[in-house]
Amino acid sequence: MKNFTDRVAAITGAGSGMGRSLAIRLAREGCHLALADRNATSLAETAQLAQAAAPHIVGSPLRITTRVLDVSDRAAMVNWAAETADQHQRVNLVFNNAGVALSSTIEGMEYADLEWIVGINFWGVVHGTKAFLPYIKASGAGHIVNTSSVFGLFSQPGMSGYNATKFAVRGFTEALRQELDLMKCGVSATCVHPGGIRTSIAQSSRISSNMVGFMLANEQQGKDDFEKFFITTADEAARVILDGVRKNKRRVLIGRDARAADWLARTLPAAYQALVVMQTRRMKRIAEKRARRAAQVDARRA
């Protein structure tokens, strides 16, 4: 798809981060939007920001619709796809972007937490793909964009739930792209692997208490350390994603960290794991030292 003007794009997780930035960039190019998020307030804010970014064409305002939903709810996603096709008369693109993060050891992981992340990060992508595909095919020209992660390329201790969902999104989307190529139906697919992007994902993540003492000194330190790796802005990430769609790329890597991780996992597919363990041990020691110092300061103050 070479340009987005007068197309219709559906975006999940549009209330924040990359979803919001995609909405604003697409609106700027004159693309009509169907936005979804579980957070009604932030979703409404994105709709306003996108409307403000839209070009002012007299007699042809940009159409932006919103739907509050949970992407893990299959019926809600199926209804939203039908509603979008009805309200906009067509759908050309879907960005299955909504996602959450979970930090936990496998040994101590609650099944409820694993089911939560699989429901959103994997099933949300499956529902978005299957619900929108018939409408996108009917449009004659479309694209499905599924967000995996750098953690869909390599694994890390404490991230097994996230790793599992993001590797699954990658496998699902690569097979989808191959099927669409075989069908020659005018629809294509791209798998997106962002590195660290400055968004709200760390602060809204679930960090299990079993991580404290295993790899982290405390929950907030875990979230703050996670954010130190966020080197790319959400706006830049959205630019790279849309560029990838224009070029019909099969995979899009965002950031030099994602490119380095991809290279490492492909060059040293087994040995990279030992390197990750070494690096994690080092970070754990630093975190523990920092926690001890903070405890001493607290004790002196008390």
Ligand X SMILES: NC(=O)c1ccc[n+]([C@@H]2O[C@H](COP(=O)([O-])OP(=O)(O)OC[C@H]3O[C@@H](n4cnc5c(N)ncnc54)[C@H](O)[C@@H]3O)[C@@H](O)[C@H]2O)c1
Q: Does 194 bind ligand X (CB under 6 A)?
A: yes
Stretch that binds ligand X, among 10-18, 129-137, 170-178, 182-190 (CB under 6 A): 10-18
Stretch that binds ligand X, among 78-86, 87-95, 98-106, 271-279 (CB under 6 A): 98-106
User: What own/partner pairs with CB < 8 Å and gap ≥ 24 does 173-178 have?
Assistant: 173/125, 173/144, 173/146, 173/148, 174/250, 174/251, 176/129, 176/144, 176/146, 177/250
Judge whether 252 and 192 are in contact, CB under 8 Å: yes
Whole-angstrom distance, CA of residue 23 vs CA of residue 10: 9
User: Where do the H-state alpha helices sit in 54-159?
Assistant: 74-88, 111-117, 124-139
3-class secondary-structure state, position 95: strand
CA distance to 76, 128, 260, per residue, from 67 (Å): 10, 13, 37
Sheet holding 32-37, edge to edge: 64-68, 32-37, 8-12, 93-96, 142-147, 187-194, 251-254
Whole-angstrom distance, CA of residue 168 vs CA of residue 16: 23
CA distance to 28, 38, 58, 77, per residue, from 43 (Å): 18, 8, 26, 16
Residues that bind ligand X (rule: CB under 6 A) add up to a total of 30
In terms of CB distance, is 90 or 249 closer to ligand X?
A: 249
Which residue of 97, 156, 160, 190 would you call a contact of ligand X, by CB under 6 A?
A: 97
Whole-angstrom distance, CA of residue 259 vs CA of residue 267: 12
Whole-angstrom distance, CA of residue 229 vs CA of residue 222: 12
Q: Does 42 bind ligand X (CB under 6 A)?
A: yes
Residue of 111, 135, 162, 272 marked active site: 162
Stretch that binds ligand X, among 56-64, 68-76, 126-134, 289-297 (CB under 6 A): 68-76
Q: Does 17 bind ligand X (CB under 6 A)?
A: yes
Torsion angle defined by CA atoms of residues 233, 272, 123 and 221, in that order, rounded to the nearest 10 degrees: -50
Q: Does 98 bind ligand X (CB under 6 A)?
A: yes
Q: Does 25 bind ligand X (CB under 6 A)?
A: no
Q: Does 222 bind ligand X (CB under 6 A)?
A: no
What lies within 8 Å, CB to CB, of 28 at 6+ separation is 53, 54, 55
Task: Respond yes or no: is residue 162 known to be catalytic.
Answer: yes
Which residue of 10, 109, 197, 242 would you call a contact of ligand X, by CB under 6 A?
A: 197
Window 223 to 282, contacts with ligand X (CB under 6 A): 230
In terms of CB distance, is 91 or 120 closer to ligand X?
A: 120
The distance of closest approach from Cβ of residue 66 to ligand X in the complex, given in angstroms and rounded to an integer, is 12
Which residue of 24, 47, 64, 100 would you call a contact of ligand X, by CB under 6 A?
A: 100
3-class secondary-structure state, position 37: strand
Window 105 to 134, contacts with ligand X (CB under 6 A): 120
Window 145 to 164, contacts with ligand X (CB under 6 A): 147, 149-150
Window 200 to 219, contacts with ligand X (CB under 6 A): 200-201, 204
The distance of closest approach from Cβ of residue 204 to ligand X in the complex, given in angstroms and rounded to an integer, is 5
The distance of closest approach from Cβ of residue 222 to ligand X in the complex, given in angstroms and rounded to an integer, is 14
Window 163 to 192, contacts with ligand X (CB under 6 A): none
The residues binding ligand X (CB under 6 A) are: 12-13, 15-19, 37-39, 42, 70-72, 97-100, 120, 147, 149-150, 194, 196-197, 199-201, 204, 230
